[in-house]
Structures are given as structure tokens and as C-alpha cells.
Amino acid sequence: MPRRLSEIKLMLRTIFEGLKPSFNFKRPLIEKIACEDEVDREILQVLFESGSAGLLPKDLAVKLERFKVTRHQISHRLVRMNKRLLRKLGECVAEQRGWHWALTSFALDAYGDTDLDHGYSESMSVGEGV
């Protein structure tokens, strides 16, 4: 029985890897997998707003001072989010660029698609009334 289960898991991983390029991961799914609490979600939001240059952990800590997190805690949280997402989807949510942390292209696509989808649905509802 355990051997059969491992064969099934291997088959599912193989299928998932083959189909992954055709999947369109959205922000809520990534946050559900990677984030444990509101602080994690806020860290990702601030990184998204910072763009491709990213931010230093101390600058993130300043922007998130209401949560009372230190730069070390922010780096630790980002590493944990990467581990959770890597384990489930095989992708990372953030990467270090020198001393800065920035969202990966995978995460930027998911966050960007969400914003575009909202803009598209708003333009459709405005256009329907005209």
C-alpha cells in the first residue's frame, strides 16, 4: 500500500510539472499557501508596490512598523513563505537581489494578473451601462 501511494504521488507530481506552464496562479491562492497571517500578506503587498528593485529588510520594517516586526523577522518570514510555496508549487515568492528582497517573476505575474483582472471587470461594467 505505501509503495502504491508513492507511485501515485510521483505520477501526480509529473502531471503537475507538465501542466504547470498552462496554469494561471492568482494572488489569493499564493497568499493562502505562502502566508500564515496578515503580516505575511502585508510584506508581499509592500514588495509588490516596491517593484523589481525590491526593498531592504530595514525599509520593509519601517513600512510595517505597526506590526512591530524587525528586519530579521521579515527576512525569516520571507524564507518561510518561500519554503511553503516551494513545497506546494515548486516556485518561490520572493528572492534576494543583493541585500534587497523583491518578488519573483512568478509572484509578480500573479499579483499583476489580479490587478489587471479587476481593472478589466470594472471597465466591462462601465462599458455595459453606456
How do the domains of the chain map onto residue ranges?
26-129
Over residues 118-126, mean pLDDT: 39
C-alpha 111/C-alpha 77 separation (Å) is 19
Over 80: is that where the pLDDT of 91 sits?
Answer: yes
Phi-psi domain of 90 (left: phi exceeds 0; alpha: psi -120 through 50; beta: other): left
Over 70: is that where the pLDDT of 130 sits?
Answer: no
Better-predicted residue by pLDDT, 30 or 112:
30
Three cell numbers, residue 23 = 496554469
How would residue 2 be classed by pLDDT, with cut points 50, 70 and 90? confident
CATH architecture of 26-129: Orthogonal Bundle (1.10)
Over 60: is that where the pLDDT of 116 sits?
Answer: no
Better-predicted residue by pLDDT, 16 or 130:
16
Tell me if the pTM is above 0.85: no
Over residues 10-25, mean pLDDT: 77
**What are the residue ranges of helices labelled H in 1-130?**
2-19, 27-34, 38-50, 57-63, 71-89, 105-129
